[in-house]
Structure 1
Amino acid sequence: MIAALVFGIMIVRWSPVPYRFGWDGAIARRLLGFGLPLAAASLVVFASGYADQIVVGSVLGAQALGFYVLAFNLAAWPVSIFSLPLRAVAPAAFSAMKSEPHRMTSSFTRVLSILSCVAVPACLALSGAAGPVVAFVYGADWMPAAEPLVWLAGLATLRIWFELSYDYLVVAGRSGRLLAIQAVSFVAALPLMLLVVERLGPSGVAAAQLCVALVIAAPLYLASLSRIGVRIRAVLSAILMPILGGALAWGAGWLLSSAVAMPFAAASAAGLFAVAMAGILCLRHRDDLRLLRAAARGGAAT
């Protein structure tokens, strides 16, 4: 609250465009029509982000919740590394292209493809090597966290895709669609988690969320993107090779978990395989990567 107030004062004080107080009903209606659904969607996102932990803690107790939260935090590593930095710049980049819809949609699929090339192998390698990762990072006493991590790391891949799509839909002004997606997903996930938590435990709660994300949220995002010009075929083409590479990374992680006794060696080998796979996948996007590096330096691509 205080930070928002200070930021607002700074904008008014140092903005090159003079601000003056007033009221325009037409602008207010447009702002409310866009902002209220977006605010509601954000509330649903916040609720769904903690609903699984509330379900596990209230039904299974503090110990199970501790294992689940540890798995949740490990699964959030790829999201923090790949998605959060991108979300800091993607909305502004997409907004700058709003006057060129074709360029905007093309940029979305290119960014999605490059992001998938690095994020999918990382997430799925973490899923496949969940046991060694937990044993190495936290110790053998925390091994029950490996079971939900298998599912939560896979869910992290979808979260990264969804967050990029969320930002794109915000820029496109489709806040109502975002509210619908978040609400439907939450309404579907909550009873399913409550249904499986006692029988399947924390891993069942994690798997339930992954199922809802795959079966409900992903098609809704694809349909929403399709309505604003992003072809479903282009999206699927952008993520197909990363998914295949990620499947190989998952298999390598799983095999290493079974074959290598030392957790550090197994986790490190799985990570190196994921990095190598990401590098191979990114070779297809050499030109795009050169453009991104040139943009970051403020120069022109060679």
Structure 2
Amino acid sequence: MHTIVLARYSEPLEWIADIPADFKVIIYNKGEEITSPEVLARADEIVARPNVGRESETYIHHMMTRATDDRNFTVFSQGDPMTHSPDFIDLLKNWRKWDDVQALSWQWLTARNIPPAASLARYEEYFPLHLRVRPEPFSLMDWVALEFVDAGAWNMGLVFKTLEGISPNTGNIAAHALRKWKLDALADQAEKHSVGVFSYGAIFAVRNEGVARLPAESKELIYEFSVGAAAANGYILERMWLHIFGTGFYRRVPFMDEHASALNLPGVSEADRADITNLVLSLVDHGMSMNDVSNFVQETMREQLSSLKSKQGQSVN
């Protein structure tokens, strides 16, 4: 039997009555006690969990403690998948047509127009008979979606690079994260490419044997990452789940490995890097928006580069 894992905080769950009988329903509840008769009747298990981490903490906890090694699927979802996946129930009914790693969402938020309604309309025009499911392509370098302006993701990627000491110009966020999790072979592949795909809301399915192949050490490291203090960590994992379990990367990077250092800003000492990290965290803690933080960091970088160029010019003269 397949399984659906729901990471729930306060979302109403009466909709689970429509989940096909092919699926065992496990609810990890980080909110108030669930008392709805409809939910209690359909849920196979309700597991109380402390309210730490985002949905990624719930997912990796399940993978570490409950995963099996077989060809059945486990679906991972937030408590309200319909926001991101209006055809979610019908997608569950069509599990026989899934890939071994399957994205199961369509959008982020209609109210925020992400992705733009015009883009989704074109997609529906191209695939009029398909259920609404759409993996979103994004840059492994700066985390932005490729088909529209994605300022929020760009800001999050920049903050993560700053916190991790990754080059703002040539650093590959995906490769860096994968190495943190001891997934070096995947990191090597990420470094050779520039594009990945993700499922909005971290709603996806994977065969249990795929989860079983993930090394125990990597699961532990991903768990530690999921409960880390940086707000960016949850967003990094949202865009990495499909690739962690085998979805390939796209668009190979032109030959640049031996010359990447020439494209970087001049080296920053570990002490300076720590100071920058602490400054960014302080700005966020004091209420500065992600957009303002990114603008501040960019302006500081421009000033530093201008100063260095000026000094280099003086030394030549």
Report the TM-score when normalising by structure 2. Answer: 0.28
Report the TM-score when normalising by structure 1. Answer: 0.29
Determine which structure has greater relative contact order: mean sequence separation of CA pairs < 8 Å that are 6+ residues apart, divided by chain length: 1
Higher strand share: 2
